[in-house]
Amino acid sequence: MSELQKSEIIGTPALKDVYIGEMDMWPFESPEFNRIYPFYDNLRAGKFTTTKCKQCGHIAFPPQVICPKCWSEDLEWVELPQRAKVVVLTETQAGAPIGFPSPLIIAWLTFGEGAPLRHLLVRIINCKEGELKEGDEVKFVTFNVPAHPAEVKKETKVCDRVYYAFEPVK
Ligand SMILES: [Zn+2]
């Protein structure tokens, strides 16, 4: 089977499983392509994590390979809270980009005083139109992303992929 045929078989449901690699919007998550791959391994294990600088203590999100404050490469993985409150949100009810079902909800969350990360801009899933309001509690959730074939040392490798969002606490 040619590379093109493989690419055509694995794709986003919105496009009836047919799309080209250039339209892929999700990161490659394997160690061959991504230096923050432990973030995705942690997602697969149900953990929401990021990097903390061992030199200056700065916690960055999304995870980094170099501290954006002091340029140190001496970083460690730390867990982030899995519950937050909605500060403000937007709902796109019509005209969401391809691959995103309506409503497409994006929220600015707060983890509260003393949390390792104060705020996060994130997609909300498993939520009906008009269901979520400012001040509501939401929780971390992962979902599967279509696999993408990638060439690794002349072999085609198909990696399972995962991504994160938040959902309403019911
Ligand atoms: Zn630092």
Q: What is the mean pLDDT of residues 52-81?
A: 97
Ligand 1 geometric centre to CA of 44 (Å): 27
Task: Please give the order of strands across the beta sheet that includes 49-53.
Answer: 59-60, 49-53, 75-79
Ligand 1 geometric centre to CA of 63 (Å): 13
Ligand 1 geometric centre to CA of 118 (Å): 18
Residue 108 has pLDDT above 80, yes or no: yes
Is residue 139 within 8 Å of 82, Cβ to Cβ?
yes
What are the backbone dihedrals phi and psi of residue 142, each rounded to the nearest 5 degrees, phi first? -115, 160
Provide the pLDDT for residue 33. Answer: 85
- pLDDT tens digits for 129-165? 999 999 999 999 999 987 877 777 888 877 789 999 9
Tell me the CA distances in angstroms from 151 to 3, 7, 11, one per residue in order.
9, 11, 17
Q: What is the mean pLDDT of residues 108-124?
A: 95
- pLDDT tens digits for 13-65? 445 555 556 677 888 888 888 899 999 999 999 999 999 999 999 999 999 99
Q: Residues 5, 163, 122, 69: is their CA dihedral positive or negative?
A: negative
Ligand 1 geometric centre to CA of 96 (Å): 38
Ligand 1 geometric centre to CA of 54 (Å): 7
pTM above threshold 0.85? no
